[in-house]
């Protein structure tokens, strides 16, 4: 599979302090790369460099072979599904209108939007007849997170960026969402970059793990390699399992 995302000697510096880098890393099509690390490790900074919410201070980030500096940022972001912990649903919009937001912005025909929303709600385990007209406050935390995933998938983007999306969900719902999310993204063939500080979550979801520590990439490899390495920075995290 070709590389969909590439970091080439990327650094991000604020007021003389390096929040990230230099980092070189690639993400292949269809891969689930988990960015793992403690708070302040640079995980979310790396994620925001992919969709050009941030631009690198040095080096280059490319998506689909094009530097993020050369992309129109609106077009780039509409090619990327974004799932965050706070979900970010519009409280005054129904579930149906929340999920269909990007297709409407892309001027899909209204009937096509309705059909896409219904298909996605079914896909994430929310019966359209029961949930499409509800408002976000009428949903549980796990249901809201499912709506967030459906909205991220609505325009069929090739990649998803996920920033601690299940962190605020109760433990039982979180395990269920993790299993469903992995199965769903595998079935759809989506490329995923997923941020977490939770080692169990990383091992459960990743096809490859990139460990960041104080802005530096200290390990990148498959889950089997992560479990087998003797690197002290990895073993310290594995002890938490």
Report the share of the chain in percent with pLDDT over 90. Answer: 68
The answer on 72 and 97 residing in a single domain is no
The answer on 164 and 58 residing in a single domain is yes
The answer on 165 and 54 residing in a single domain is yes
User: Which phi and psi angles does 100 have, rounded to 5°?
Assistant: -85, 10
Tokens in use for 91? 């409280």
The answer on 146 and 118 residing in a single domain is yes
**pLDDT for res 13:** 96
The answer on 201 and 215 residing in a single domain is yes
Q: What is the pLDDT of residues 11-59, one digit of tens each?
A: 999 999 999 989 999 999 999 999 999 989 999 999 999 999 999 999 9
DSSP-derived 3-state class of residue 134: coil
User: Is 186:17 a contact under the CB 8 Å cutoff?
Assistant: no
* CATH at 11: 3.40.50.300
The answer on 113 and 36 residing in a single domain is no
The answer on 108 and 221 residing in a single domain is no
C-alpha dihedral sign at 200, 170, 178, 7: negative
Distance CA 101, CA 86 (A): 17
**pLDDT for res 173:** 78
Q: What is the pLDDT of residues 116-165, one digit of tens each?
A: 999 999 988 899 999 999 999 999 888 998 898 999 999 889 999 999 88
Number of other CB atoms surrounding residue 2 within 10 Å: 8
The answer on 165 and 74 residing in a single domain is yes
User: Is 181:124 a contact under the CB 8 Å cutoff?
Assistant: no
The answer on 232 and 202 residing in a single domain is yes
Going by the DSSP 8-state scheme, the letter that residue 136 receives in this structure is G
Q: What is the pLDDT of residues 63-120, one digit of tens each?
A: 999 999 999 999 999 899 998 876 678 999 999 999 999 999 999 999 999 999 999 9
Q: What is the total count of domains within the chain?
A: 2
The answer on 97 and 190 residing in a single domain is no
Distance CA 132, CA 7 (A): 39
- Tell me the angle at which helices 110-123 and 141-153 cross, rounded to the nearest 10 degrees: 130
Q: Which domain holds residue 37?
A: 1-79+158-241
Domain closes at, from 157, 174, 201 = 157
Q: Among 83, 71, 80, which residue's Cα sits nearest to residue 146? A: 83
The answer on 91 and 28 residing in a single domain is no
Distance CA 118, CA 96 (A): 8
Domain closes at, from 124, 140, 157 = 157
């Amino acid at each position: 599979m070709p590389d969909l995302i590439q970091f080439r000697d990327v650094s991000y510096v604020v007021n003389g302090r390096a929040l990230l880098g230099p980092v070189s890393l690639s993400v292949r099509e269809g891969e689930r790369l988990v960015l793992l690390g403690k708070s302040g490790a640079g995980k979310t900074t790396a994620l925001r460099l992919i969709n050009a919410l941030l631009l690198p201070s040095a080096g280059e980030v490319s998506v689909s072979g094009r530097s993020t500096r050369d992309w129109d940022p609106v077009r780039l972001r509409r090619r990327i599904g974004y799932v965050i912990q706070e979900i970010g649903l519009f409280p005054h919009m129904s579930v149906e209108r929340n999920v269909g937001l990007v297709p409407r912005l892309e001027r899909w025909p209204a009937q096509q939007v309705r059909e896409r929303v219904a298909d996605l709600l079914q896909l994430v385990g929310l019966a359209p007849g029961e949930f499409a007209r509800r408002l976000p406050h009428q949903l549980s935390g796990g249901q809201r997170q499912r709506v967030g995933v459906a909205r991220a998938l609505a325009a069929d983007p090739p990649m998803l960026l996920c920033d601690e999306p299940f962190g605020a969900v109760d433990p039982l719902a979180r395990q269920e969402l993790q299993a469903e999310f992995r199965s769903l993204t595998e079935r759809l063939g989506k490329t995923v970059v997923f941020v977490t500080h939770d080692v169990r979550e990383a091992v459960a979801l990743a096809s490859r793990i990139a460990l960041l520590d104080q802005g530096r990439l200290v390990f990148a490899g498959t889950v089997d390699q992560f479990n087998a390495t003797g690197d002290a920075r990895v073993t310290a995290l594995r002890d938490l399992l």
